[in-house]
Structure 1
Amino acid sequence: MSSSASSDTVAPGISREAFGHLPDGRPVSLFRLANRQGLRMCVTDYGGIIVSLHAPDRDGKLADIVLGFPDLDGYLSPLYQQANPYFGALIGRYANRIADGCFTENGTTCRLTVNDGDNHLHGGARGFSQRLWQAETFEHDDGVGIRLRYISADGEEGYPGCLECDVTYTLDDDKALTIDYRATTDRTTPVNLTQHSYFNLAGEGSGSIEGHYLQLNADAFTPIDRGLIPTGEIRSVADTPFDFTTMTRIGDRIEAPDEQLQLAGGYDHNFVLAWQTPPSDELRLAARLWEPDSGRQLEVATSKPGIQFYSGNSLDGSLIGKSNQTYRPRSGLALETQLFPDSPNNSHFPTARLRPGDTYVSRTRYRFSTDQEPR
């Protein structure tokens, strides 16, 4: 059953339906969530994928604003597996890249699966985005949600220790999606969890995100090398195409003759959130995204010290989404709250080390609204 086609009027609550089977025969479920403010979301227990997310425009008209497929087959197809853009998925154990697929812990070199050139990306060849999670739904007075649980075995994708992970999606009546991450381990291991939805506030399949306006509460970013690995430098955004400290149209500078943009084919960089230096556990505003035609606005608040702005550069037109439209470069953008890429190999970056007895805890909140003009 398609996850995107339905009436604009849906009663608040949660329903569950079959979404297909994995190659080994295990059944996969799709969960439909709706709140009292008109937000609707479909989530599958395969990869914790947000399959669809409907939000109203300034006239109250709903549109699906995340990229993805109408059925499980789209996420399992060889074409998708080869490109692997991680549409809507939970990412772990480590979001983003680890150089050369290795790091040193207590004098021991740990070698991870290499799946991005010479590097390790988004948890490896079968990261959390390709695992079947245990799911439990809940409802309370001001929202609905789903709790996902996965146990990552010692040695999975090369990571040390057994990691127990819980991720909760809550769709509340304040027009917000809140994601709570929690993890514990029995051996010291790096952990960096995030959510990899691609947003297009004009509507999925509607074209480029270059007309969106973006503001990032970041006065610095981490430059990359040719392998998209941070060089270790923390560079000011001042007087560069990376200055999003005020609302800026994405397309205005994405083709600027800047070496960093050329290396990534656009934006694919970690931004250092100004208010997180030094790190803090407080949930604060990190980003604001606005699309002028629909009036939809997205605010991202997080307890993480970094946010990856990815402008969908690698989408090459080979994938067809829910609206039967081709996903071309910059058809959607990701705002991935995170620790910094390659933190295990950069001691001056915020640590990703999780030790036995400690608990990894973080929260990210996506709040949706509409506005005639960017604020």
Structure 2
Amino acid sequence: MKITTQKVVNGWQLYTLTNEHKMSVSILDYGGIITEINVPDRHNNLKNVVLGFKNYADYEHNLNFLGALVGRVAGRIQDARLTIQGLTYELDVNEGTHHIHGGSNGFHQLIWASTPFQTEEAVGVILRHTSPDGEGGYPGTVDVTVTYTLTNNNELQIDYDATSDKKTALTLTNHSYFNLSGNPATAIDQHHVTVNSDAIIELDKDLIATGKMLDVTNTPFDFRKGRLLADGIQSTFPQNIIASHGYDHYFLFNDEHRGSIQVRDDISGRVLSINTTHPGVVMYTANCLDEGLELTGGPSIKYGGVCFETQASPASLQYENLPTILLDAHVPYEKQTVFTFFVAE
């Protein structure tokens, strides 16, 4: 196990965590961004399986949130307006008339205080930020700690911890785009995905959640027994069309299988298992990813990666049938997502 540090552009710190199986994860203190995850295929060839910029400076204008920590609230907040305890807060408007992923100056655009660590079993980096009352329009001073840990079991563990001095809204995630082929020029339509979810939240034409739960049975959103992402990308199902011919939807996990996701690429043999304490996940198939970005490994393409944004849904601000994103003052926010990589037998 080892950890290396490197100064890159703008004085940013890049941490590279490597385990005894030569799996490595590289993380910037800027935006908490995962720039690379290198894992072996069935022939033991190491390849980077997340999308990242070739030039670190490009992360300053990371409009697609490549690899970034997202907060204070992951997802879209309708009309960029938040009401808590009878008080309305106007948030940063950064997508149409709405607010997305914490706003233009969200957690993906700041330098986190960083501390590397190493034990006999793991290496990692601890990121900390104090978000002042009013930052992005949100109430409350929030102390946030995000810990990235790499183990010898080829697990990347992300722990999210926070407290606020006022009742506020908070749901944090990581916005990495996975492509298990290791080739960003190859679309992820042939990735086979399993998600333990009976229902998604319906989206309107602005991709704002309506609060209506849709049963996935007999739709391209039924991943309970696994299916190819191509099924939704090529579908004429209205919800796939609304999402620019793909997926950008919140899947609410079944309680008995909370947070269990599996992703498989049959050509490389790579498999990704995701387990989380979050109540659901936004699966986004890069339907609107800007094309031609200079990435490590080649230019970006539509459907060049798939995001699994484990989180609660901001639609819960309007609809009480969903797990809430409201955090009471002085109550700990504690969530964890674990990404485990292995090779199919």
The TM-score normalised by the length of structure 1 is 0.89
What does 1:50-89 align with in structure 2 at a 5 Å threshold? 50-76=34-60, 80-81=61-62, 84-89=63-68
| Counterpart position of 1:302 | 276
Alpha-carbon distance between aligned partners in 1 of 2:184 and 2:213, rounded to the nearest angstrom: 35
| Counterpart position of 1:18 | 7
**What amino acid is aligned across from residue 70 of structure 1 in structure 2?**
K
User: How far did residue 250 of structure 1 move?
Assistant: 1.1
Alpha-carbon distance between aligned partners in 2 of 1:370 and 1:313, rounded to the nearest angstrom: 27
| Counterpart position of 2:249 | 269
Match of 2:211, SS?
A: coil
Correspondence 1:165 to 2:140: no
What does 1:257-296 align with in structure 2 at a 5 Å threshold? 257-265=236-244, 266-275=246-255, 284-296=258-270
**CA separation of 1:231 and 1:31: change in aligned 2, threshold 3 A:** same
User: How far did residue 142 of structure 1 move?
Assistant: 1.0
What does 1:111-190 align with in structure 2 at a 5 Å threshold? 111-190=90-169
Correspondence 1:369 to 2:342: yes
CA contact (8 A) 1:69 1:321 kept: yes
CA contact (8 A) 1:103 1:345 kept: no
**What amino acid is aligned across from residue 175 of structure 2 in structure 1?**
H
User: How far did residue 70 of structure 1 move?
Assistant: 3.1
Aligned partner (choices 209, 229, 237) of residue 188 of structure 2: 209
Q: Which runs of 5+ in 1 are unaligned?
A: 1-11, 22-26, 277-282
**CA separation of 1:17 and 1:350: change in aligned 2, threshold 3 A:** same
User: How far did residue 293 of structure 1 move?
Assistant: 0.6
User: How far did residue 284 of structure 1 move?
Assistant: 4.8
User: How far did residue 36 of structure 1 move?
Assistant: 1.1
- In the TM superposition, structure 1's runs of 4+ consecutive aligned residues that sit over 4 Å from their partners are none
CA contact (8 A) 2:184 2:299 kept: yes
Match of 2:241, SS?
A: helix
CA contact (8 A) 1:58 1:370 kept: yes
**CA separation of 1:225 and 1:284: change in aligned 2, threshold 3 A:** closer
Aligned residue pairs, count? 344
**What amino acid is aligned across from residue 155 of structure 2 in structure 1?**
A
Aligned partner (choices 4, 20, 32) of residue 16 of structure 2: 32
Q: Which moved more, 1:163-172 or 1:205-214?
A: 205-214
**What amino acid is aligned across from residue 245 of structure 1 in structure 2?**
R
Q: Greater share of strand residues, 1 or 2? A: 2
**What amino acid is aligned across from residue 341 of structure 1 in structure 2?**
P
User: How far did residue 99 of structure 1 move?
Assistant: 0.5
Alpha-carbon distance between aligned partners in 2 of 1:72 and 1:371, rounded to the nearest angstrom: 33
| Counterpart position of 1:329 | 302
| Counterpart position of 1:243 | 222
Match of 1:205, SS?
A: coil
**What amino acid is aligned across from residue 105 of structure 2 in structure 1?**
R
Aligned partner (choices 315, 318, 341) of residue 289 of structure 2: 315
| Counterpart position of 1:232 | 211
RMSD: 1.3
The TM-score normalised by the length of structure 2 is 0.97
Instruction: Name the % identity.
Output: 37
Aligned partner (choices 292, 313, 320) of residue 347 of structure 1: 320
Q: Which runs of 5+ in 2 are unaligned?
A: none
Q: Which moved more, 1:284-293 or 1:92-101?
A: 284-293
